[in-house]
Structure 1
Amino acid sequence: MDEEIIFRPIGYIRSPYGDVNDMPKSPRESGDVEAEMIINEEYLESMSSMQAGKEYMVLFHFHKSKGFKQKVPFRGDGPIKGLFSTHAPNRPNPIGVTTVKIVEINGNIIRFTGVDMLDGTPVLDIKDIL
């Protein structure tokens, strides 16, 4: 159970947020702000059924995360909660998940709303919301 798991990013996020203090805490807070996922071209075929106007889950690596605490303030300044009841970025395995809405797909570039990731965030996977 302690074996190491290695993920390789399928792309990265180009976001207007360069600092965690400026970033929305959830996709609902980001409004109409747009960002882009730049997907490695080797995965173009995997993108073939994706559609503008649809929502997708994006799994990503909290690449600026350092350490973690088991209890944290909810949304950064709310009541103290157990880590697994939050979306806090500092986690034992710093994996994030969010829901985005696709605005446009142009080749390997996916423009979307619902951005709550930092610029340069590695994308691990994209899943359709069924």
Structure 2
Amino acid sequence: MTEIVFNPIGTVHSPFQDPRDMPIQPIGARGVRGRIELDPAYTAGLKDLEGFSRVILLYHLHRSKGYALEVVPFLDKTPHGIFATRAPRRPNAIGLSVLKLVRVDGATLTVEDVDILDGTPVIDIKPYVPAFDAYPDERAGWLAATCETARTMRSDDRFC
């Protein structure tokens, strides 16, 4: 396969310095505020973003080393295939979070519901569009029984 190279467009700033004891999903980080500092070269790309209430943030899980094809995720005690989880130890260490957009100020986005480590490199930002991105009646697989516990679950050192 051909190698794919991404260059970060910015950095996430959050209160989380250590992956242990941080929220495992944005739902468990309600109200946690952070900033996305973009490289000033990308500022023009933020035009009209302030009209959206949420953004989809794609980022590099830069502290994740290696990967496993089967993992025991935070919300279960049973091993699952990595692609049936959101665990960070992945073949391509790409994270995704849907964050509340509070403000756009130059090359800085103020966001809430941040479940991301401080210093995380940003790969891309996309607007969240409910008509395109929300499918509330779809199946959640093995997570259906444990989704609600994501509000209070915190990470541990299993993926460090």
What's the TM-score, normalizing by structure 1? 0.93
> What's the C-alpha RMSD, in Å, of the aligned pairs?
1.4
Deviations 1:69-120 (A, max 9, x none): 1111122653321111111111100011110011111111111012111010
* Residue 11 in structure 1 maps to residue 3 in structure 2: no
Runs (5+) with no aligned partner, structure 1: none
Shift >4 Å, 4+ stretches: none
Q: d(CA) in 2 for partners of 1:104 and 1:53? A: 10
Aligned positions, number = 129
Q: 1:52 to 1:104 in 2, by over 3 A?
A: farther
Deviations 1:50-73 (A, max 9, x none): 116611100000000101111111
* Residue 95 in structure 1 maps to residue 99 in structure 2: no
The structure whose residues are more often helix, as a share, is 2
Match of 2:108? 109
Q: d(CA) in 1 for partners of 2:72 and 2:51? A: 35
Q: Is the 8 A contact 1:52 1:102 kept in 2?
A: no
Q: d(CA) in 2 for partners of 1:77 and 1:67? A: 21
Q: d(CA) in 1 for partners of 2:80 and 2:51? A: 36
Q: Is the 8 A contact 1:51 1:105 kept in 2?
A: yes
Match of 2:22? 23
Match of 1:66? 65
* Residue 85 in structure 1 maps to residue 89 in structure 2: no
Q: d(CA) in 1 for partners of 2:58 and 2:29? A: 17
Match of 1:55? 54
Other structure's SS at 2:124 match:
strand
